[in-house]
């Protein structure tokens, strides 16, 4: 769980930041042990979504495209010398999306009341990427808000490009699978039952293959609505599981164990972590704080759980490479590259290179899998169609032989 906390430091400063813990009591104890005085603790995320009744959780998320455009315009306004509050006023006037406009209006109000932009953004939880608030905080601390925002824009563009490449690679196989299922469905539900009635009127002994295919065809036709209901119910069960922490971990763990595709999901999650951490370190965030945010930004919850012990290792003085190696989720080459980055003092650059390397591996692996999947699907589809046709023609050949005899 993530919480937005207002704490006081030993130096007399009052800070508002996002922390992660199992529950509120554990977080208060953790902050007290760090020497903070806790003023307020609240769950991260409910503000903003409560103002949008009737919308699903996914509908309230700000898309990468909208967020990229917003940050490009914000960086341009800040570069021209406008104060943050005036820039937000101009952005609010130009914003057309009602969800984003409502969110931005409250962000503007919070900034106007004296909050930092990063704290105002952090309140909205999953509506923005976890990396965004931390990146803005780095800009506020360093005084280089425009450069930090542009670095975040580059991060969004790289993530978007990676997703587009993956989606475009999957379009043809998905279309092929869809057409195959549609063709087999038409033959099973409409074509085969007509031959069943025809053969019944002839009163001939049908071959075993024909009896099997006809039986399956009649079963699908008679129980079509039930089968559709079962499929829809399974989809709803998976969606409900994805709304719980235990369900998300189970689904994420299953993703990493899927034959052939598991390593691809693994590399994607590792690339996501490395790119997030690289962006934070380049913005001036300390490595422990950067790790907390970067680990929380990983979408695969099981992979995220595997990475969490690394934070304590680095906090205790262990190197990032060693801590990652102990989690068992990093490949040898990734660990070696990170170790070189730590030794040379260019960890952010090396992490970015690691992410690029992993993205290339994902693309190469997908191309290999798809090059194998396409002929396999064609052969499988041909076998199924041929089996259906043979089961139809076998009785006809047998009947023709009896007539000729």
Q: What are the domain boundaries of the chain?
A: 1-44, 154-405
Q: Mean pLDDT over residues 90-105, rounded?
A: 84
Q: What are phi and psi of 132, to 5 degrees?
A: -65, -50
The H or E element containing residue 132 is helix 130-142
Q: Which two tokens stand for residue 235?
A: 């989809």
CA distance linking residue 108 with residue 123, whole number of Å: 13
What is the per-residue pLDDT for 14? Answer: 60
Q: Mean pLDDT over residues 383-404, rounded?
A: 76
CA distance linking residue 366 with residue 6, whole number of Å: 45
The answer on pLDDT for 54 being more than 70 is no
Q: Mean pLDDT over residues 203-216, rounded?
A: 80
Q: Give the single-character DSSP code of 36.
A: P
DSSP 301-346: HHHHHHHHHHHHHHHTT--HHHHHHHHT-S-HHHHHHHHHHHHHT-
DSSP collapsed to 3 states, 244-313: CHHHHHHHHHHHHHCCCCHHHHHHHHHHHHHHHHHHHHHCCCCHHHHHHHHHHCCCCHHHHHHHHHHHHH
What is the per-residue pLDDT for 402? Answer: 61
Q: Torsion angle of alpha carbons 261, 265, 270, 273, nearest 10°?
A: 170
What is the per-residue pLDDT for 233? Answer: 93
Give the residue, 147 or 200, on which the prediction is more confident.
147
For residue 141, the number of C-alpha atoms closer than 13 Å in the C-beta half-sphere is 14
What is the per-residue pLDDT for 46? Answer: 36
What is the per-residue pLDDT for 131? Answer: 76
Mind listing the pLDDT tens digit for each residue in 27-51?
888 888 777 777 778 776 433 333 3
CATH 3.30.70.270 for the 154-405 domain, yes or no: no
The answer on pLDDT for 170 being more than 70 is yes
- Predicted TM-score of the model (pTM): 0.66
For residue 229, the number of C-alpha atoms closer than 13 Å in the C-beta half-sphere is 4
With CA atoms as reference, report the closest residue to 294 among 135, 404, 171. Answer: 135
What is the per-residue pLDDT for 15? Answer: 67
Task: Decide: 195 and 214 in contact? Cβ < 8 Å.
Answer: yes
With CA atoms as reference, report the closest residue to 293 among 302, 278, 306. Answer: 278
What is the per-residue pLDDT for 60? Answer: 61
Q: Mean pLDDT over residues 91-104, rounded?
A: 84
What is the per-residue pLDDT for 203? Answer: 67
Q: Mean pLDDT over residues 199-206, rounded?
A: 71
Give the residue, 36 or 78, on which the prediction is more confident.
78
Cα–Cα separations (whole angstroms), residue 138 to 66, 247, 274 = 22, 34, 18
What is the per-residue pLDDT for 59? Answer: 40
Q: Mean pLDDT over residues 320-349, rounded?
A: 89
pLDDT band at 388 (very low <50, low <70, confident <90, very high): confident
The answer on pLDDT for 1 being more than 70 is no
Q: What are phi and psi of 319, to 5 degrees?
A: -70, 155
Using DSSP's 3-state secondary structure scheme, residue 105 falls into: helix
Q: Mean pLDDT over residues 285-300, rounded?
A: 84
Q: Mean pLDDT over residues 371-376, rounded?
A: 81
Q: Round the CA-based radius of gyration of the chain to a whole number and report it.
A: 28
Q: Mean pLDDT over residues 281-305, rounded?
A: 84
The answer on pLDDT for 100 being more than 80 is yes
Q: Mean pLDDT over residues 336-353, rounded?
A: 90
Give the residue, 13 or 209, on which the prediction is more confident.
209
DSSP 55-94: --TGGGSPPHHHHHHHHHHHHHHHHTT--HHHHHHHHHHH
Mind listing the pLDDT tens digit for each residue in 265-279?
898 889 888 988 888
What angle do helix axes 192-202 and 208-222 make, rounded to 10 degrees? Answer: 120
What is the per-residue pLDDT for 16? Answer: 67
pLDDT band at 52 (very low <50, low <70, confident <90, very high): very low
**Chain mean pLDDT for the chain:** 80
% of the chain with per-residue pLDDT over 70: 90
Q: Which two tokens stand for residue 267?
A: 């590399």
What is the per-residue pLDDT for 44? Answer: 60
CA distance linking residue 277 with residue 275, whole number of Å: 5
What is the per-residue pLDDT for 55? Answer: 34
Q: Mean pLDDT over residues 108-119, rounded?
A: 84
The answer on pLDDT for 145 being more than 90 is no
Buried b / exposed e across 359-396, counting CB within 10 Å, b at 16+? bebbbeebeebeeebeeeeeeebeebeeebeebbebbe
CA distance linking residue 403 with residue 50, whole number of Å: 77
CA distance linking residue 315 with residue 101, whole number of Å: 39
pLDDT band at 157 (very low <50, low <70, confident <90, very high): confident
What is the per-residue pLDDT for 350? Answer: 92
């Amino acid at each position: 769980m993530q919480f937005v906390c207002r704490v006081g430091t030993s130096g007399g400063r009052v800070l508002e930041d996002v922390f992660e813990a199992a529950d509120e009591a554990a977080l208060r104890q953790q902050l007290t042990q760090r020497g903070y005085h806790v003023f307020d603790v609240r769950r991260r995320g409910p503000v903003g979504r409560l103002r949008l009744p009737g919308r699903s959780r996914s509908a309230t998320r700000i898309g990468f495209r909208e967020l990229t455009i917003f940050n490009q315009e914000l960086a341009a306004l800040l570069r021209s010398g406008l104060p943050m509050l005036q820039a937000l006023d101009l952005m609010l006037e130009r914003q057309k999306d009602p969800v984003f406009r409502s969110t931005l209006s409250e962000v503007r109000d919070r900034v106007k009341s004296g909050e930092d932009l990063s704290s105002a953004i952090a309140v909205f939880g999953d509506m923005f990427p976890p990396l965004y608030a931390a990146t803005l905080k780095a800009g506020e601390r360093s005084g280089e808000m425009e450069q930090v925002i542009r670095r975040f824009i580059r991060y969004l563009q790289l993530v978007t490009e990676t997703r587009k490449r993956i989606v475009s690679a999957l379009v043809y196989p998905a279309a092929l699978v869809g057409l195959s299922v549609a063709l087999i469905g038409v033959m099973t539900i409409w074509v085969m039952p007509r031959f069943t009635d025809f053969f019944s009127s002839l009163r001939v002994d049908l071959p075993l293959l024909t009896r099997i295919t006809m039986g399956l065809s009649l079963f699908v036709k008679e129980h079509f609505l039930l089968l559709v209901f079962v499929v829809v119910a399974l989809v709803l069960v998976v969606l409900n599981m994805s709304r719980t922490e235990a369900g998300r971990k189970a689904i994420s763990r299953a993703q990493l164990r899927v034959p052939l595709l598991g390593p691809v999901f693994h590399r994607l999650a590792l690339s996501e972590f490395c790119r997030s951490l690289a962006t934070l370190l380049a913005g001036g965030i300390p490595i422990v704080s950067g790790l907390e945010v970067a680990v929380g930004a990983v979408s695969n919850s099981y992979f995220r759980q595997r990475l969490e012990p690394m934070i304590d290792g680095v906090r205790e003085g262990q190197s990032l490479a060693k801590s990652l190696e102990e989690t068992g989720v990093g490949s040898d080459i990734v660990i070696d590259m990170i170790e070189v980055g730590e030794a040379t003092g260019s960890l952010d650059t090396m992490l970015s290179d690691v992410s690029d390397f992993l993205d290339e591996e994902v693309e190469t692996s997908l191309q290999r899998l798809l090059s194998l999947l396409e002929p396999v699907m064609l052969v499988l589809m041909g076998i199924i169609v041929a089996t259906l046709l043979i089961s139809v023609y076998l009785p006809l050949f047998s009947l023709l032989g009896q007539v000729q005899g």
